[in-house]
Amino acid sequence: MNVFESPDFDHHEAVAFFDDKKTGLRAIIAIHSTAMGPACGGTRMYPYATPDAALTDALRLSRGMSYKNAIADLPLGGGKAVIIGNPAADKSDAKFAAFADAVNSLGGRYITAMDVGILPPDMPVIARGTKFIAGYDQPGKAGGDSGPATALGVFAGLKAAVKHRLGTDTTRDLRVAIQGLGKVGMGLAKRLHAEGARLIVADTNMAAVREAVETLHATAATPDQIVTVECDVLSPNALGAILNDQTIPRLHARVVAGGANNQLARDHHGAMLRDRDILYAPDYVINGGGIIRVAAQIENWSDAEVERRVLGIADTLSAIFARAARDGEPTNHIADRMAEERIAQGRKPAKAAE
């Protein structure tokens, strides 16, 4: 595929291909925008069926990181790296060293972090060869675990959505259906339980479900049931594309607010939610706590500054909801427009000192 002809090419600043014969590294690094600062986004390792599939992922994900970083008001642009390979069988120190060289070749325009297929033990190996890396535990720096920050942001954002749609400042006695009980979903569940919400939970990990039932007095549902159960708030914290032509007509929730990525199967599903008067908290806005934590390592922010910025997700969402209500547009369209406005502002040259 010609990069420029790809339907997912969005005037990316750079798309670099790396093929290291000695180590077998085959990777793509896509830099969508550096208008707000160096491009930052994780590295994904996956056995793509074709190079075109890998390119599509890199292009889409890097653009998404531009929007995520801009809407979180971070001094970072958007980028993403993909390594073609099976993360269970194809990793080696030599391959990661070659990847570090690839990152270095971009001269600091791209800063890498973790994504699917790249695990915490892999990060120090990559870091041996490059300083352009963040989002993992490093001596003398804030912790790299993004789960708690993401959960806090989702909790704050969910409350902002509840206030806008349901007119209440608390989740007490609201029925909240949580899909996925990983670090983010379980962290959110604990915060909601402490405030008095009534939880309905589902996960393929039955141990996590039992923990929520026993310690948080949650009601268990099956993974097939959770999206369409009777509830006030649906919080997706697992799979993407769960809001689609089949599920949206069957939703009972009046608010959708969760940390999962790519919740809308297609862009028009945001309009479908609006038409059903279901308030949707755009995923890349509400789950921004993780990238805020990564930015904190890059910028050496204090824990207090991280918390301030994560709690600010609620204000950003409130502004999106208000603008969407005023203009009659889906919240996902408003979020995209706000991100694009911030990126465009970042591209403007600074005024010369008078």
CATH of the domain at 50: 3.40.50.10860
Nearest-Å Rg of the Cα atoms of the chain is 20
Phi, psi of 159 (to 5 degrees): -65, -35
Query: Does residue 70 lie within any of the structural domains?
Result: no
- pLDDT category at 143 given cuts 50, 70, 90 is low
- Same domain, yes or no: 154 and 299: yes
- pLDDT category at 54 given cuts 50, 70, 90 is very high
- Same domain, yes or no: 255 and 166: yes
- Same domain, yes or no: 90 and 175: no
Instruction: Give pLDDT, residue 352.
Output: 37
Query: Does residue 138 lie within any of the structural domains?
Result: no
Query: Does residue 354 lie within any of the structural domains?
Result: no
Residue 8 pLDDT more than 70? yes
Annotated catalytic sites, by residue? 80
Residue 219 pLDDT more than 80? yes
SS3 321: helix
Residue-wise pLDDT for 65-114, tens only, equals: 999 999 999 999 999 999 999 999 999 999 999 999 999 999 999 999 99
Query: Does residue 134 lie within any of the structural domains?
Result: no
Query: Does residue 352 lie within any of the structural domains?
Result: no
- Same domain, yes or no: 316 and 197: yes
Residue 174 pLDDT more than 70? yes
- Same domain, yes or no: 106 and 218: no
Instruction: Give pLDDT, residue 240.
Output: 85
- Does residue 5 or residue 29 have the better pLDDT? 29
- Same domain, yes or no: 123 and 156: no
Tell me what percent of the residues of the chain surpass a pLDDT of 70.
96
- The residue written with tokens 């026993």 in the block is 214
SS3 313: helix
Cβ count within 10 A of residue 267:
11
- Same domain, yes or no: 86 and 185: no
Tell me what percent of the residues of the chain surpass a pLDDT of 90.
89
CATH number where 323 lies = 3.40.50.720
Residue 353 pLDDT more than 50? no
Query: Does residue 135 lie within any of the structural domains?
Result: no
Q: How many domains, in total, are found in the chain?
A: 2
Residue-wise pLDDT for 255-296, tens only, equals: 999 999 889 999 999 999 999 999 999 999 999 999 999 999
User: What token pair was written down for 90?
Assistant: 């194809």
Instruction: Give pLDDT, residue 348.
Output: 54
- Same domain, yes or no: 123 and 151: no
Instruction: Give pLDDT, residue 297.
Output: 92
- Same domain, yes or no: 109 and 236: no
Residue-wise pLDDT for 302-339, tens only, equals: 999 999 999 999 999 999 999 999 999 999 999 999 99
Residue 231 pLDDT more than 90? yes
| E strand intervals along the chain | 14-20, 25-33, 39-46, 77-84, 110-114, 175-179, 198-202, 219-220, 233-236, 255-256, 279-280
Q: What is the mean pLDDT of the chain?
A: 94
Distance CA 250, CA 15 (A): 41
- Same domain, yes or no: 302 and 186: yes
- Same domain, yes or no: 107 and 198: no
Domain hosting residue 268, numbered range:
147-341
